[in-house]
């Protein structure tokens, strides 16, 4: 499609947008009486209007039923999390028994590493990406320390080549082969949080397995954003947060995937709790722990129902639309944003910014990271003051994520106009 940098053209794309009615299903912060232009759905998704009803329902059941709500609430609490299995498994390409919801992301990655990072004297190394999300870096350090290793001997980072912003697949595969027999675990982000680069999880998983390692992914920026086929790709485990693209609310619960092939393995170490125990016998309060066969067997505590309620609202919304329609719009909307950025860059003298996210659609999703050259933090602040919510990452990057559920083409056009004014008036 040939794009045009005009309001009429953007409005025309909005009129043809199959998902356009969903924009009005979200609550936008207001700026001068208008919706803000929201580019930070990769950090905290907007609140769906239907969410409140899900939370109110739990509040009312708690008020009216108190402890009886565990079994007699409209959606009984004792197995509330099981309502996620069907819709969530579709979103991540899994079988219903392979997914569960619990805790928060970093906590879950730690719990999963209890089972899936089992270093031996000779096989103890972890491969991760250079400049992984800080929480992941701290987690790797903590895990290797816990097992008695030093980070510098056990953690192997895949580096970017000099002058390049993204990590090459060939370099990931070469590193896996190089570490070979010493490799215990490959754990990467499915989508890099900083650049928006999407990794080829299928190929990486295959290479990791060939080296005899376990392969897991942190899907914080992937869940609700990209097509995932975790089961078919033979990924061992994965976890994601739900408050980014999945719009479940600040700090909310995490989802986990554990491949079916590990479910019946009683040898796997795990940090158990009563919610992972045989469901039929849970309330018999017996001393012998018998984990549920399935991802639910990694549950620890009874679940925070008030947190799960907004997550359920969101998962049901995703199931209603389906990832393929979201991805279709995501591709066109991101491409339109890229076009607008190039148009603005062409209109002004000198290179002011550079898109560091891969230009290839296969290697990116709903995010363009823009490295500012002639500009600095002042431009970011100008955008904020003018109702454009982006985020700033040191040293000089603005991340723009036009979430397809609620961002419009006209938002992209409008953003371009504000950006141009901001650059000219610097």
Ligand X SMILES: *Cc1c(COP(=O)(O)O)cnc(C)c1O
Residues making up the annotated binding site for pyridoxal 5'-phosphate are 105-106, 133-136, 218, 221, 243, 274, 302
Token representation of residue 330: 């995501």
What residue ranges in 12-143 does DSSP mark as E strands? 26-27, 30-31, 34-35, 37-38, 47-48, 99-102, 125-129
Annotated binding site: 105-106, 133-136, 218, 221, 243, 274, 302
Residue 311's CB is within 10 A of a number of other CB atoms, namely 26
Q: How far is the CB of 220 from ligand X (least distance, A)?
A: 3
- 385 CB-near residues (< 8 Å, 6+ apart): none
Q: CA 54 to CA 84: how far, in whole Å?
A: 14
Min separation Cβ 281 and ligand X, Å: 32
246 vs 370, beta carbon nearer ligand X? 246
CA atoms within 13 A on the CB side of 65: 17
Q: Minimal distance in Å, beta carbon 128 to ligand X?
A: 11
Shortest spacing between CB 104 and ligand X, in angstroms? 5
Nearest to 100 by CA among 295, 342, 247, 233: 295
Closer of 204 and 241 to ligand X (Cβ): 241
Give the separation between CA 224 and CA 244, rounded to whole angstroms.
8
Residue 138's CB: how many other CB atoms inside 10 A?
12
Asked whether the bond before 230 is cis by omega within 30 degrees of 0, the reply is no
Which residue, 70 or 160, is less far from ligand X as judged by CB? 160
Interacting residue ranges for ligand X, rule: CB under 6 A: 104-106, 133, 135-136, 189, 193, 218, 220-221, 241
The nearer residue to ligand X, 133 or 311, going by C-beta atoms, is 133
Shortest CB 368 distance to ligand X, Å: 16
Instruction: Identify the H or E element spanning 168.
Output: none
Taking the complex as a whole, how short is the minimal distance between the CB of residue 221 and ligand X, in angstroms? 5
Of 172, 184, 43, 63, the residue nearest 113 (C-alpha): 184
Sequence-ordered list of residues with C-beta below 8 angstroms from that of 357, at least 6 positions apart, any chain: 195, 196, 197, 364, 367, 368, 369
In the complex with ligand X, the residue whose CB is nearer, 189 or 196, is 189
In the complex with ligand X, the residue whose CB is nearer, 5 or 47, is 47
């Amino acid at each position: 499609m040939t794009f045009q940098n005009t309001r009429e053209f953007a409005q025309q794309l909005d009129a043809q947008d199959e998902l356009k009615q969903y924009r009005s299903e979200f609550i936008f912060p207001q700026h001068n009486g208008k919706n803000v232009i929201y580019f930070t759905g990769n950090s905290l998704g907007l609140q769906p209007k239907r969410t409140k009803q899900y939370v109110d329902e739990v509040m009312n059941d708690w008020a009216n039923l108190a402890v009886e709500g565990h079994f007699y609430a409209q959606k009984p609490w004792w197995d509330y999390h099981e309502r996620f299995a069907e819709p969530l498994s579709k979103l991540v390409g899994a079988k219903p028994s392979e997914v569960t919801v619990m805790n928060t992301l970093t906590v879950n990655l730690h719990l999963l590493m209890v089972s899936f990072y089992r270093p031996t004297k000779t096989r103890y190394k972890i491969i991760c990406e250079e400049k992984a999300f800080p929480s992941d870096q701290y987690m790797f350090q903590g895990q290797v320390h816990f097992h008695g290793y030093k980070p510098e001997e056990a953690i192997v980072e895949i580096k970017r080549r000099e002058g390049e912003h993204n990590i090459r697949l060939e370099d990931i595969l070469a590193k896996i082969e190089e570490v070979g027999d010493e490799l215990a675990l490959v754990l990467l982000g499915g989508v890099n949080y900083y650049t928006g680069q999407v990794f080829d999880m299928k190929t990486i998983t295959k290479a990791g397995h060939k080296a005899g390692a376990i392969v897991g992914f942190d899907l914080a920026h992937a869940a609700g954003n990209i097509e995932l086929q975790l089961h078919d790709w033979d990924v061992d485990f994965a976890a994601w947060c739900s408050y980014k693209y999945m719009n479940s609310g600040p700090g909310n619960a995490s989802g986990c995937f554990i491949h079916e092939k590990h479910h019946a393995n009683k040898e796997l170490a795990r940090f158990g709790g009563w919610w992972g125990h045989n469901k039929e016998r849970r309330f018999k309060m017996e001393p012998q722990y018998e984990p549920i066969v399935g991802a639910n067997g990694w549950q620890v505590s009874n679940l925070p129902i008030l947190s799960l309620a907004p997550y359920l609202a969101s998962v049901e919304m995703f199931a209603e639309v389906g990832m393929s329609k979201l991805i279709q719009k995501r591709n066109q909307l991101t491409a339109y944003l890229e076009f607008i950025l190039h148009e603005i860059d062409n209109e002004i003298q000198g290179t002011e910014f550079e898109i560091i996210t891969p230009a290839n659609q296969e290697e990116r999703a709903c995010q363009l990271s823009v490295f500012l050259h002639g500009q600095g933090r002042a431009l970011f602040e100008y955008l904020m003051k003018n109702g454009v919510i982006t985020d700033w990452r040191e040293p000089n990057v603005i991340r723009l994520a036009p979430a397809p559920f609620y961002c419009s083409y006209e938002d992209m056009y409008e953003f371009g106009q504000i950006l141009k004014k901001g650059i000219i008036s610097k």
